[in-house]
């Protein structure tokens, strides 16, 4: 119920965000698939222990639901050290006795009546008759022969198979239970169960609640058991490091090896997950921003991390200037540039974002702005540091001395920020305008990136830096016949929509 309520609150927040001005790719994902995993997947080979208890007494089975029928042995409640043998449980399932030569034909015709649980074998050897097999039926649909409908009886009659339903005692083991079922059985009754994690290469990254911490080692081991390829499970212990933007974490289970490899949007990355920032849930946003770029454009990535914006942009033949304060991010950014063979298109820096804006960005803009209008190239500045990026915007005020002319292309900024406001789009725009000391009415777009937590959204505000903000000696009076500065491509739609209104 708690999970449903959280989902409801997130949906309400997303509906509120529809009032935001949006970019071309204005999708509002309620749930993001990149980097998250559903624990309802069951992998591997499943072991069955067929017992000799086989009866032919046709009893009416009570529909207890999947949870009760397939829940592990209740004696595991409160377990903190994983004991796989304690999960054994016997359930009674309906079966048909079918001659070996008729099994395949029956399965094709009555597949919808057979047991549907993933991972369970639906045909077993009949220990009482080697010439027959036991076909396991869905206990939620079939209890006696009267549970079959007319078409089912027709099939059975044609195949000369008795509709008599027997019961078989099937023993389930740890291997047969899903991750969520195991955790629900182990954790105290009524408490929230963590059912998702972010996968980063061979690492599963979790955010456990305080009440789950006594079971953290068990939870970690279950995740490794049920997810092939996962070798390490880590838990975030503190918020992101405010200086270098990486999580403080502890290893719950598996190997203590945080150097991993991932592939996102057909680009490969390698890094030490314990020392850099990486969020697989931002894959769609990385792709969205890179999709706005065209070959030849110039991109300044102020808080580049290990390169999820910068490297795809360079592969698109953009000229990229990428910076990160974290020495580890800088090291892996250089490594990933070479790994993806784009090191010739990227210049990499290791400095504070403010120094990067006042130094490198200023120098490049001063050198290139006057010559870009004829080539129809665009300038983009990405500032993906949601907790602090807005506070760096004041560096853009009077950054350049003289405007090169009204036809010059002005840079477009993509600034990320968190918001807990009831109107997150308006909240972010107000704060950006406060640092720029100007209005962005009609010439900015707001994109909802994702719901971070209940009442907390991650937003991206894209805007063209106004000439009167960027230049010190900008002339406020313009000739009536003088053409306006070209709009950046990312803002064409939002400005056109405003004109229509």
Determine if residue 336 is labeled as part of a ligand binding site. no
Decide if 271 contacts 260 (C-beta within 8 A): yes
The kind and range of the H/E element at 425 are: helix 424-436
**Contact between residue 104 and residue 216 where contact means Cβ atoms under 8 Å apart:** no
The angle that helices 179-186 and 216-226 make with each other, rounded to 10 degrees, is 160
Residue 134 assigned ligand-binding role = no
> Alpha helix (H) ranges present in 191-269?
216-226
- CA angle, 186 then 213 then 75, to 5°: 15
* Distance of alpha carbon 289 from the chain centroid: 17
Q: Count the Cβ atoms, other than its own, within 10 Å of residue 491.
A: 19
352 is known to lie in a ligand binding site: yes
Q: Residue 21: CB partners within 8 Å, gap ≥ 6?
A: 425, 444, 445, 446, 494, 497
Question: What's the rounded Cα separation, in Å, for the pair 137 and 157?
Answer: 17
Which H helix or E strand runs over 249? strand 249-254
Distance (Å, whole) CA 259 – CA 331: 13
CA–CA separation, 212 vs 230, rounded Å? 20
Is 343 assigned a ligand-binding role in the annotation?
no
Strand segments (E) across 126-165 = 132-136
Sort strands 379-383 and 298-301 into parallel, antiparallel or unpaired: parallel
- Find out whether 334 is annotated in a ligand binding site: no
- Rounded Cα distance, 336 and 267, in Å: 9
Q: Contact 417/431 with Cβ under 8 angstroms?
A: yes
User: What does the DSSP 8-state code read for residue 16?
Assistant: H
Does the annotation place 126 within a ligand binding site?
Answer: no
Binding site for S-adenosyl-L-methionine: what residues are annotated? 286, 324-325, 352-353, 384
Binding site: what residues are annotated? 286, 324-325, 352-353, 384
């Amino acid at each position: 119920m708690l999970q449903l309520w959280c989902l409801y609150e997130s949906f309400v927040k997303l509906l509120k965000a529809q009032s935001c001005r949006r970019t071309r790719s204005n999708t509002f994902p309620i749930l993001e698939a990149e980097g998250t995993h559903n624990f309802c997947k069951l992998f591997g080979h499943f072991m069955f222990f067929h017992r000799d208890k086989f009866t032919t007494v046709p009893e009416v089975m009570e529909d207890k639901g999947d949870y009760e029928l397939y829940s592990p042995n209740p004696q595991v409640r409160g377990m903190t050290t994983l004991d796989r043998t304690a999960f054994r449980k016997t359930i009674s399932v309906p079966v048909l006795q079918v001659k070996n030569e008729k099994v395949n034909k029956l399965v094709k015709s009555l597949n919808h009546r057979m047991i549907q649980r993933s991972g369970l074998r639906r045909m077993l050897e009949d220990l009482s008759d080697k010439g027959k097999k036991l076909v396991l039926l869905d206990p939620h649909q079939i209890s006696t022969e009267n549970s079959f409908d007319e078409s089912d009886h027709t099939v059975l009659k044609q195949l000369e198979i008795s509709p008599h339903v027997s019961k078989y005692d099937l023993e389930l083991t740890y291997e047969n239970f899903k991750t969520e079922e195991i955790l629900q059985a182990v954790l105290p009754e009524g408490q929230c169960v963590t059912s998702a994690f972010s996968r980063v290469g061979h690492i599963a990254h979790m955010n456990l609640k305080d009440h789950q911490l006594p079971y953290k080692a068990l939870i970690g081991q279950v995740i490794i058991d049920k997810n092939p390829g996962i070798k390490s499970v880590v838990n975030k212990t503190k918020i992101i490091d405010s200086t270098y933007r990486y999580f403080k974490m502890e290893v719950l289970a598996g190997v203590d090896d945080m150097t991993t490899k991932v592939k996102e949007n057909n680009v490969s990355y390698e890094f030490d997950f314990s020392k850099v920032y990486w969020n697989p849930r931002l894959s769609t946003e990385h792709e969205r921003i890179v999709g706005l770029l065209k070959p030849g454009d110039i991109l300044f990535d102020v808080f580049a991390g290990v390169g999820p914006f910068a490297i795809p942009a360079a592969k698109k033949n953009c000229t990229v200037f990428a910076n990160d304060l974290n020495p580890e991010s800088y090291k892996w950014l250089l490594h990933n540039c070479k790994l993806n063979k784009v090191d010739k298109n990227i210049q990499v820096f290791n400095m504070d974002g403010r120094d990067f804006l006042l130094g490198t960005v200023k120098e490049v803009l001063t050198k290139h702005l006057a010559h870009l209008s004829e080539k129809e190239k665009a300038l983009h500045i990405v500032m993906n540091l949601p907790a602090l990026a807005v506070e760096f915007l004041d560096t853009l005020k009077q950054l350049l001395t003289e405007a090169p002319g009204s036809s010059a292309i002005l840079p477009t900024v993509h600034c990320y920020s968190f918001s807990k406001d009831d109107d997150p789009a308006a909240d972010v725009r107000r704060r950006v305008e406060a640092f720029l000391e100007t209005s962005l009415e009609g010439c900015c777009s707001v994109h909802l990136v994702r719901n971070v937590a209940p009442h907390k959204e991650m937003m991206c505000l894209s805007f063209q830096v106004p000439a009167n903000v960027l230049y010190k000696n900008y002339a406020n009076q313009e000739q009536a016949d003088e053409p306006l500065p070209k709009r950046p491509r990312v803002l064409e739609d939002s400005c056109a929509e405003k004109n229509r209104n």
